[in-house]
Copies of this chain bind each other. A is one copy, B any other.
Amino acid sequence: MKQKPTLKLIAKELDVSVSTVSKALRDSKEIGKETKEKVKAFAKLYNYRPNNIALSLKNRKTQTLGVIIPEIVHHFFTTVISGIESYANEHGYNVIVGLSNESFKKEVINLDTLANGSIDGFIMSVAKETLSIGDYHHLHETIDQGIPIVMFDRVLDNMDCDKVIVDDVRTSQQAVQKLIGNGSKNIGIISTKDYVSVGRLRTEGYLKALEKNQKDVNLSYILKIHDEFSSEDNLEALEDQISDFLSKNKDLDAIFAVNELYAVTAMKVARKLGLDIPHDMQVIGFTDGVLSKHAYPPLTTVSQNGFEMGRTAARLLINRLEKDREEIERFETVIVDTDIIERETTHKSK
């Protein structure tokens, strides 16, 4: 096991000073041609690489992005990470991930332990519990310390940071409009509680679509799922709520669900109730993941373009990081495009 070579080691071996070695390797013109070559050859031979930690300390930059997400076993979040990683790597940054598991406390801890020099900036999506209790002191504090944050998907309005979102209202409106265009009369929505911004906004889009088409709002057509924490864990609870909902509203002929899990679960329940999809009931989901693609029947869904969101978030963050201290640029909120991917849970548009 050979130890990693350091400048000091090379210096001693070659009988020059540490600074000479450093300068030689960085091709400084202060150093003579011969010495340079000697040093470079030696460095190559021993496969020298500068120690990242030392560099970080010196430069007060770690070239590392902290990504904090509610859960990682989730297609949308992983595509976002993919995007972040892709852009970050292209620009010489690494990515360190923290999982909040939708818990406020874990989110705080994660922010705290990473903010102590380990990372240059954060990219995050806020935990449900945090949204629910509305305590954002940890976010304000890290921003106060000069560590920039970029929020995506689940963002906070009054936060001094860049944001990456989709136009939830407009997109949802389009999705519901599509259902209406396809002839659906009674459209239900399966959403989240209102403190989850995306749930609130998508519901808003749903309402707007109804309004635009002069349709009355039937409050019993609106289901707001109660799930504080990770959703994969309490599937039965989810199924029960949806089952209840569908049984009580037999006249529904279309469902708009604010995520794909709700959508496929709704389909499963509907099937148990003897409904044929899309004949008896059309379904559109939100978030295009594996579930939608491989569901039976394949689910028509709104694609959020997670990869693009990730790349955008990374771009915003890195841009800000590499700005000079005083180019205090205003914070930006970029809206990434969505697409409706038509599969087989809606009627074909002509």
| A→B interface (CB under 8 Å) | 1-4, 47, 49-54, 56-57, 62, 64, 71-75, 78-79, 81-82, 85, 94-99, 112-118, 141, 144-146, 232, 235, 261, 264-265, 268, 271, 290-291, 293-296
A71-B82, A72-B78, A85-B99 given; name 20 further pairs at CB < 8 Å: A1-B146, A2-B145, A3-B145, A4-B116, A49-B112, A52-B116, A52-B118, A53-B53, A53-B62, A64-B96, A72-B82, A73-B78, A73-B290, A81-B97, A94-B118, A95-B97, A95-B98, A265-B294, A291-B291, A294-B294
Q: A3-B146, A57-B53 are in contact. Are A96 and B94 (CB under 8 A)?
A: yes
Q: Which residue of B lies closest to A99 (CB)?
A: B85
CB distance from A105 to the nearest CB of B (A): 12
Q: Which residue of B lies closest to A143 (CB)?
A: B1
Determine if A117 and B268 form an interchain contact, defined as CB atoms under 8 angstroms apart: no
CB distance from A313 to the nearest CB of B (A): 15
Determine if A1 and B96 form an interchain contact, defined as CB atoms under 8 angstroms apart: no
Q: When the two chains form the complex, which single residue of B1, B113, B296 contacts A144, counting CB atoms closer than 8 Å? A: B1
Q: Which residue of B lies closest to A77 (CB)?
A: B78
Q: When the two chains form the complex, which single residue of B51, B79, B114 contacts A116, counting CB atoms closer than 8 Å? A: B51
CB distance from A292 to the nearest CB of B (A): 10
In the complex, which residues of chain B have a beta carbon less than 8 angstroms from the beta carbon of A57? 51, 53-54, 57
Instruction: Please indicate which of the listed interface residues A3, A51, A94, A95 has the most CB atoms of chain B within 10 Å of its own CB.
Output: A94
In the complex, which residues of chain B have a beta carbon less than 8 angstroms from the beta carbon of A74? 78
Q: A4-B145, A117-B53 are in contact. Are A264 and B62 (CB under 8 A)?
A: no
Determine if A113 and B94 form an interchain contact, defined as CB atoms under 8 angstroms apart: yes
